Amino acid sequence: MKNTTSAKKRSPGRPRSFDRQAALETAMKTFWAQGYETTSISDLSRAMGINAPAIYSAFGDKKQLFLEAMRLYLGDPQSQAEAIAGAASAREAAAMVLANAVRTFTGEDTPKGCLIGTGLATGSPAAADVRAEGAATRAALEALLTSRIERDKTGGLLPVDTDAGTLAALVSCTVQGFSTLARDGAPAARLQAIADFVLRGWPEIEGEGVDAEAVRRAGDS
Amino acid sequence: MKNTTSAKKRSPGRPRSFDRQAALETAMKTFWAQGYETTSISDLSRAMGINAPAIYSAFGDKKQLFLEAMRLYLGDPQSQAEAIAGAASAREAAAMVLANAVRTFTGEDTPKGCLIGTGLATGSPAAADVRAEGAATRAALEALLTSRIERDKTGGLLPVDTDAGTLAALVSCTVQGFSTLARDGAPAARLQAIADFVLRGWPEIEGEGVDAEAVRRAGDS
DNA sequence: GACATTTACGAGCGATCATTATGAAAAACA
DNA sequence: TGTTTTTCATAATGATCGCTCGTAAATGTC
């Protein structure tokens, strides 16, 4: 029985010589830059500064390490759900999601683009289950947005004939597009300009103008 | 000196036992489904039905084979340039590009998504040059769209304060987003609905209404 | 200091990677 | 038929893949 992820048990043996969290963060960035299957254990070992056996004893195998890196990348899933549900409108929620993607994909200290979108875009059939995890996070985001949009429809903030699925897919589509554009070197300002453009076309109840700039500011939170 | 890609020289020796074009098409689909680096020569050999040495003698190495598959995937680059330049408006050009992406990414007989966008999304530093080729095709599309938009601005079809770069990036962003959504299983109708939504927000000269449906039909060519 | 426990590290596991040397087989030309 | 030319299939190249074994080192407890 190895002591891998959880387990707060006392360990009277030799202490670990590296910071597990820091090593995980380095692994995340390495996967982020190179992709899941195209990052080798020896790549990770070199970047993390620890030998291969130490990786296995601390994180399990390559798949488990990636999944843990993915969870670190995604942060608390509940906070995202609450942010979307708690936004003043679906449009504000979308603005938040897009602004967050811009920030994440163009960070200075991290690789460009989306760890999941690009690092898990494709690969061999052997890694199909890991890719399915990535697709599940996208589906979860779309589901959250869809229900938030439906709530706006019943709440009178959106026309009742709004196609919630399409609108949610539009946001997801834009986020995924950001990933490729960011990886190609697009600056944050350009991505944000695209986000503003998309939000400008957000459906409205007739007669109610919306201050797009205010919505954008709200997304910076 | 092997007889690889071009070279129409007479070959008095034993004729090839397989259809080079059909083999290339199979290689394209294999790369399309599995990605560049994550597709092995043995994967290709199995799919193409020919042994590894035959691949090398007919196509060169793996990189050359992928690049040739990429050219087959992209089709004639001049025809795309002419289609964008020859469209009645930048908006129609964008509609065409988007509709074409929808068709290509959701085809029945081909893998879902974009060969270049997903198959070349990420990878090891050793394949950076191949990824650069993929990024170059995206940059070329954006450049074509940007100049088409600029032409519409001077031609009075678009407001003079239109940000051509952002608008072109929006189209490219949407196309790249389509790739991920299609790979996740989104049907063509959903992608087309997103495209329609994006096109509905296309800038207009004040007072000139645009029939979005007619623009969409034009994209079906 | 002996003991139990845990980690660190070098070495090595079989499998697969992209690629090629080899030589027999087959077709075209003489 | 003989020669030339090219392709064919088999097999092997060294390198790297993900992963693990064995042993030394470092801790807490006795």
**pLDDT tier at B221 (50, 70, 90 boundaries)?**
very low
pLDDT at B208: 54
Q: Which residues of B touch A33 (CB under 8 A)?
A: 122
DSSP chain A: ----SS------SPPPSS-HHHHHHHHHHHHHHH-STTS-HHHHHHHHTS-HHHHHHHH-SHHHHHHHHHHHHH--HHHHHHHHHHSSSHHHHHHHHHHHHHHHHT-SSS-SS-HHHHHTS---GGGHHHHHHHHHHHHHHHHHHHHHHHHHHHTTSS-TT--HHHHHHHHHHHHHHHHHHHHTT--HHHHHHHHHHHHHT----TT----HHHHHHHHH-
Mean pLDDT, chain B, as a whole number? Answer: 91
pLDDT for B31: 98
Which of the residues B66, B142, B173, B198 would you substitute to probe the A interface, choosing the one with the greatest number of A C-beta atoms within 10 Å? B173
Report pLDDT digits (tens) over B49-80. Answer: 999 999 999 999 999 999 999 999 999 999 99
A124, A194, A198 ranked by CB distance to B34: nearest: A124
Residue ranges of chain B that CATH labels 1.10.10.60: 20-72
Best residue in B44, B162, B180 for a mutation probing chain A (most A CBs within 10 Å): B180
In this prediction, residue B11 carries a pLDDT of 58
Chain centroid to CA A124: 22
Say which residue the tokens 């979308």 belong to: A94
pLDDT tens digits, residue range B165-196? Answer: 999 999 999 999 999 999 999 999 999 999 99
**Stated in angstroms, how far is A93 CA from C20 C1'?**
57
* Structural domain A20-72, CATH architecture: Orthogonal Bundle (1.10)
**Which pLDDT belongs to residue A2?**
36
Tokens of B211: 């029939």
What is the homologous superfamily of the domain A76-220 according to CATH? Tetracycline Repressor, domain 2 (1.10.357.10)
Nucleotide nearest the Cα atom of B60 (by C1'): C19
Residue in chain A lying closest to B172 (CA)? A177
What residue ranges of chain A have pLDDT lower than 70? 1-11, 207-221
Q: Which of residues 45-64 of B touch strand D (CB under 7 A)?
A: 50-54, 57-58
Query: What's residue B42's pLDDT?
Result: 97
**Residue A126 CA: distances (Å) to CA of A36, A130, A131, B46, B94:** 12, 9, 10, 16, 37
Our measurement of CA B16 to C1' D6, in angstroms, reads 9
Q: Which amino acid is at B119?
A: G
What's the fold here for domain B77-219? Tetracycline Repressor; domain 2 (1.10.357)
Tokens read off for B202: 């296309």
